[in-house]
Amino acid sequence: MDDRKPGGRRRPVAIRTWRAAAALAVVVASAALALSASCARKPITPTKVIFLGIDAADWGLMQPLLEEGKLPNFSRLVAEGATGKLATLQPLQKSPVIWTSIGTGVLPDKHGIGGFLAPARGGEEVPFTGNVRRAKAIWNILGEKGLRVAVVGWMVTWPAEEVNGYMVSDYIQYENEKGIKPERQTYPESLFDEIDHLRLTEAQVGDADIAAIYPVSAPADKLSPDDWHKGYVKMVYATDETFRRVALHLRREGVEFLAVYFNGVDSLCHGFWDFRDKPDHPLSGVIDDYYVWIDGVLGEFMKLVDRETLLVVCSDHGFRGPGRTADGALMLGIYMHGDYGIVGLMGDSVRKGARILDADVLDITPTVLYSLGYPVAKDMDGTVITDAFTDDYLRSNPVAFVPTYETGERQAGAPVSSPVDDKVRAKLKALGYIQ
């Protein structure tokens, strides 16, 4: 039997067995489900989705923390939802490419986002911007179906596009040294004034704010001589905390699809990976401590999940640290990324304690469409993650298809320069993505 998925891609190889603790939780939850199957309520089709994108989240890094009980909300996701590894695009791609594939369900040659920087007139490179995207994103499709959407911090969403609801672009975190902010950071543009008080800058972050993540009381002689680490952590925290605040605020506005992106795990893995294997160094726990913080964020959004809501959590790739060339030279940037990220779904229609064994980043948009009762487009390169849903739900809701959602003409253009392009480049350089 041919194992090719739409688009001619082969499905990823069989996913390795989880460690004993996670496997035991799955067995126990599955047994409980089987015993109660006869009296279970018929699952309903969700009408709302909360979608958390956590860049670089990796079960392998999380597993020790799960076993120690430090990630109670991710543990709940494993026990009460369907979870597994999520294969990233191959060959390895940069995060804007992958997150756009996650949001559209199509390969890069269809959506048009090629990385962090794009060639522009005059030979310079400028950051890719959202107007370059050629394919509709899940929020466009759902908005056309009449659902109110809110998108917060998603990669390559500046300038903010018109949606049926709200868009807060990834540039909400930036302004230049003169205090100049890009236009169209939000849609509608008036939304900026409404949420401006929720924005947090690095300068506004105090030591107390990051004390659970960064060893603010560590002796100076134990840290880097230039002490850039603290400012870096404050910058990362300010961005994710801003997105958290804004997303929770917009959730109260009656939106039916909420998507929010968090970059901190990836940024701190790039910045602090060298310290992980130095247990006596005060910075050795920064990555783990940030996982604990993001677990708390997950818990806040879990509180918003009711029987009519589907929770979706995923990452674009995992993290394994630097690679090496044949001659032993370190390979940084995307070569530090792992082949598998995470995926988790939780809701009334989802199998409790189930393991997702064969999924990749292209499958997220088709799965969200299916979960809400909408057909999947045949020209999407992903498929529905059917093993996440209960047998009753699958029987009552067979997967349906339409030829395409790309009706009408999407006006894709050239990248747009902004007054914060230098800040964007500086951040990419700090992460090792550009020289």
What is the tens place of the pLDDT at every residue in 46-93? 999 999 999 999 999 999 999 999 999 999 999 999 999 999 999 999
Q: Is 136 left (phi over 0), alpha (psi -120 to 50) or beta?
A: beta
pLDDT of residue 59: 98
pLDDT band at 24 (very low <50, low <70, confident <90, very high): very low
CATH number for the domain harbouring residue 231: 3.40.720.10
pLDDT of 124 > 60? The answer is: yes
pLDDT of residue 154: 98
pLDDT band at 428 (very low <50, low <70, confident <90, very high): confident
pLDDT band at 295 (very low <50, low <70, confident <90, very high): very high
- Would 25 be classed as within a structural domain? no
pLDDT of 185 > 60? The answer is: yes
pLDDT of residue 411: 67
Q: Are strands 309-314 and 48-54 parallel, antiparallel or unpaired?
A: parallel
Model-wide pTM > 0.75: yes
Distance CA 137, CA 135 (A): 6
- Would 6 be classed as within a structural domain? no
| Strand ranges across the sheet with 340-346 | 186-187, 165-168, 149-152, 257-262, 48-54, 309-314, 340-346, 82-87, 354-356
- Find the helix or strand (DSSP H, E) in which 235 lies: helix 228-251
**Count of the separate structural domains present in the chain:** 1
Please state the rounded mean pLDDT for residues 97-105: 98
Task: Find the range with the poorest average confidence among 110-119, 364-373, 379-388.
Answer: 110-119
- Would 99 be classed as within a structural domain? yes
CB count within 10 Å of CB 61 equals 20
Burial of residue 310 (CB within 10 Å: 0-12, 13-18, 19+) is buried
What is the tens place of the pLDDT at every residue in 258-292? 999 999 999 999 999 999 999 999 999 999 999 99
- Would 24 be classed as within a structural domain? no
Identify the bridge partners of residue 152 per DSSP, sorted by sequence position: 168, 260
pLDDT of 23 > 50? The answer is: no
Lookup: tokens for 80: 């009460």
pLDDT band at 20 (very low <50, low <70, confident <90, very high): very low
Q: How many angstroms separate the Cα of 70 from the Cα of each of 25, 62, 73, 422?
A: 16, 9, 9, 38
- Would 32 be classed as within a structural domain? no
pLDDT band at 126 (very low <50, low <70, confident <90, very high): confident
Burial of residue 1 (CB within 10 Å: 0-12, 13-18, 19+) is exposed
pLDDT of residue 122: 67
User: Within a 13 Å sphere around the CA of 324, how many CA atoms are in the beta-carbon half?
Assistant: 4
Q: Can you tell me whether residue 51 is helix, strand or coil?
A: strand
Task: Find the range with the poorest average confidence among 9-18, 316-325, 354-363, 389-398.
Answer: 9-18
- Domain holding 50, by residue range, is 42-430
- Would 347 be classed as within a structural domain? yes
Please state the rounded mean pLDDT for residues 236-257: 95
Task: Find the range with the poorest average confidence among 87-101, 190-204, 280-294, 409-423.
Answer: 409-423
- Would 33 be classed as within a structural domain? no
Lookup: tokens for 312: 């979706």
pLDDT of 4 > 60? The answer is: no
pLDDT of residue 414: 85
Q: Which residue has the higher pLDDT, 432 or 407?
A: 407
Q: Phi and psi of 260, rounded to 5°? A: -135, 140
- Closest of 81, 75, 72 to residue 296, by C-alpha: 72
- Closest of 364, 412, 415 to residue 104, by C-alpha: 364
Q: How many angstroms separate the Cα of 298 from the Cα of each of 80, 165, 301, 356, 435?
A: 14, 23, 5, 20, 34
Place of tokens 């049926």: 164
Q: How many angstroms separate the Cα of 334 from the Cα of each of 24, 26, 261, 269, 313?
A: 33, 32, 19, 12, 21
Please, what sign has the CA dihedral across residues 162, 164, 165, 169?
Answer: negative
- Find the helix or strand (DSSP H, E) in which 291 lies: helix 286-302
In the chain, the percentage of residues whose pLDDT exceeds 90 is 72
Q: Can you tell me whether residue 50 is helix, strand or coil?
A: strand
Task: Find the range with the poorest average confidence among 109-118, 135-144, 149-158, 415-424.
Answer: 415-424
pLDDT of residue 7: 40
pLDDT band at 32 (very low <50, low <70, confident <90, very high): very low
- Would 30 be classed as within a structural domain? no
Distance CA 132, CA 416 (A): 9
pLDDT of 1 > 60? The answer is: no
* Mean pLDDT across the chain: 89
